[in-house]
């Protein structure tokens, strides 16, 4: 396979070579022309690369599609992305990818440009030119990587350059969770909030009491709690089946199945959560009868707002923040209740596989990655347990 180089200007060269594929009409091999700027040595290097692609079968048809055009088209047609995920990907694309790489030809994107893009984002890629965190840069990189991976599979490009350059390293941060004492404080504060001046009757539990207690007692995600129906709750077994999640996008609320098969699971309920849910169901039935909705059936949601409508995940987080401020609770996000559940299981000595399944993680490796520091804290206890099993030889040595 050969080609030739013709000077077109002072620093411009035209490369001519056989593309490998044959013309469907004439049967002859197609000829391609590529213009390269730089020195003759640069042109020779590019011709060698192009011929190598033809020889290896990775050569692709020329295209003028830009990175921005391709990424937008990919997001519009990516049916495998959940609504919320698509919204986040589009935000990253419009704010971090397209302003910097969008005008570049998709087929001319090079690894060096990816590395330079990372550096720019880290320095001034945020709002008003502020630095972006390595974590956010990593999220943007993964969106570009996913788009380019599809282009490579369809042979629109010969390689995924985002797979060659790694995103910035993110320092592992310990997940926020509450201690056992803090958990008890939260539950007590929500079970019996302060009475208002002049109030003689015993105060009702805070509207968030039941969902917070269930979150801590099961480790369920925010969307899973908001989608929970009474038909999936068995207070006699007692256990709850996680079969779906409530997602909130700009188009509104929608129920969706778990992201992976591991998300569909059955979680045993602790006795105190069973008691909370029994009382919650009684109060909910009274409220529904009062407003004319009738008793809740299997399809009705466990956690709703006052009129029986679904409680949106975003509003749940907002209401939690308000409760934190008004009741002086530990200043953690609602998601920290799930982390607190995991922390309690680890402290109780449960194995990582059991914890992983209860949380609905895709693998025990992910659980270890997320909570590894908590498992590490038990290393000394493990050594002492083995020493005791061996007859305490270390103590007698």
The length of the chain is 397
* Residue after which a domain boundary falls, among 304, 330, 346: 346
**Neighbouring residues of 354: CB distance < 8 A, sequence distance ≥ 6:** 345
Total domains in the fold of the chain? 3
Report pLDDT digits (tens) over 322-349. 999 999 999 999 999 999 999 999 988 8
Residue 105 falls inside a structural domain: yes
Residue 85 falls inside a structural domain: yes
Residue 393 falls inside a structural domain: no
Report pLDDT digits (tens) over 7-57. 988 899 988 887 666 555 455 667 777 888 899 999 989 888 878 877 666
Token code pair at residue 352: 């990582």
Backbone angles phi, psi at 316, to 5 degrees: -60, -45
Report pLDDT digits (tens) over 274-287. 999 999 999 999 99
CA–CA separation, 253 and 180 (whole Å): 34
* Residue after which a domain boundary falls, among 330, 346, 362: 346
Question: Which domain range does residue 31 map to?
Answer: 3-56
pTM, whole model, 2 decimals? 0.72
SS3 396: helix
Residue 168 falls inside a structural domain: no
Least confident of 49-63, 223-237, 341-355: 49-63
Residue 78 falls inside a structural domain: yes
Same domain, 79 and 17: no
Residue 10 falls inside a structural domain: yes
C-alpha to C-alpha distances, 371 to 105, 176, 303, nearest whole angstrom:
42, 10, 28
Same domain, 21 and 146: no
Same domain, 154 and 263: no
Residue 377 falls inside a structural domain: no
What's the mean per-residue pLDDT of the chain? 87
CATH at residue 135: 1.10.150.130
CATH at residue 235: 1.10.443.10
Contacts 24+ apart (CB under 8 A), 278-281: 278/235, 279/205, 279/210, 280/209, 280/210, 281/230
**Of 345, 341, 351, 344, which is closest to residue 382 (Cα–Cα)?**
351
Residue 184: per-residue pLDDT? 94
CA–CA separation, 269 and 367 (whole Å): 21
Residue 362 falls inside a structural domain: no
Mean pLDDT of 217-238: 96
Same domain, 153 and 188: no
**Neighbouring residues of 193: CB distance < 8 A, sequence distance ≥ 6:** 203, 205, 206, 327
Same domain, 218 and 327: yes
**Of 91, 21, 25, 11, which is closest to residue 60 (Cα–Cα)?**
21
Report pLDDT digits (tens) over 110-165. 999 999 999 999 999 988 889 999 999 999 999 999 999 998 887 788 889 999 99
Same domain, 159 and 45: no
Q: Which residue has the higher pLDDT, 15 or 59?
A: 15
Provide the pLDDT confidence category of residue 243 given band limits of 50, 70 and 90: very high
């Amino acid at each position: 396979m050969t080609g030739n180089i013709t000077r077109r200007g002072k620093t411009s060269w035209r490369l001519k070579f056989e593309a490998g594929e044959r013309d469907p009409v004439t049967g002859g091999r197609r000829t391609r022309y590529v213009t390269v700027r730089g020195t003759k040595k640069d042109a020779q290097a590019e011709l060698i690369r192009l011929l190598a692609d033809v020889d290896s079968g990775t050569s692709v048809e020329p295209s003028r599609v830009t990175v921005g055009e391709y990424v937008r088209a990919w997001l519009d047609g990516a049916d495998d992305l959940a609504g919320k995920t698509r919204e986040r990907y589009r935000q990253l694309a419009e704010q971090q990818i397209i302003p910097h790489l969008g005008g570049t030809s998709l087929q001319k994107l090079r690894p060096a440009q990816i590395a330079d893009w990372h550096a720019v984002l880290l320095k001034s890629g945020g709002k008003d030119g502020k630095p972006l965190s390595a974590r956010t840069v990593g999220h943007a990189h993964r969106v570009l990587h996913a788009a380019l991976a599809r282009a490579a599979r369809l042979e629109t490009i010969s390689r995924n350059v985002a797979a060659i350059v790694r995103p910035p390293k993110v320092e592992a941060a310990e997940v926020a969770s509450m201690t056992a004492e803090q958990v008890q404080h939260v539950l007590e504060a929500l079970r019996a909030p302060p009475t208002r001046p002049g109030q003689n009757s015993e105060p009702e539990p805070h509207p968030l009491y039941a969902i917070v207690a269930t979150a801590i007692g099961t480790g369920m995600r925010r969307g899973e709690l908001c989608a929970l129906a009474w038909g999936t709750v068995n207070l006699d077994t007692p256990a709850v089946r996680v079969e779906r999640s409530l997602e909130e996008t700009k188009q509104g609320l929608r129920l969706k199945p778990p992201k992976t098969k591991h998300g569909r699971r059955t979680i045993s309920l602790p006795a105190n959560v069973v008691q909370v849910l029994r009382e919650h169901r009684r109060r909910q039935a009274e409220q529904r009868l009062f407003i004319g909705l009738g008793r809740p059936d299997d399809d009705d949601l466990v956690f709703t707002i006052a009129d029986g409508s679904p409680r949106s995940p975003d509003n749940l987080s907002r209401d939690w923040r308000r409760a934190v401020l008004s009741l002086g609770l530990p200043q953690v996000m609602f998601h920290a209740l799930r982390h607190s559940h995991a922390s309690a299981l680890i402290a109780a000595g449960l194995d990582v596989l059991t914890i992983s399944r209860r949380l609905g993680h895709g693998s025990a490796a992910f659980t270890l990655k997320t909570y590894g520091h908590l498992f590490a804290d038990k290393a000394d206890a493990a050594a002492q347990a083995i020493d005791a099993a061996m007859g305490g030889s270390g103590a007698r040595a």
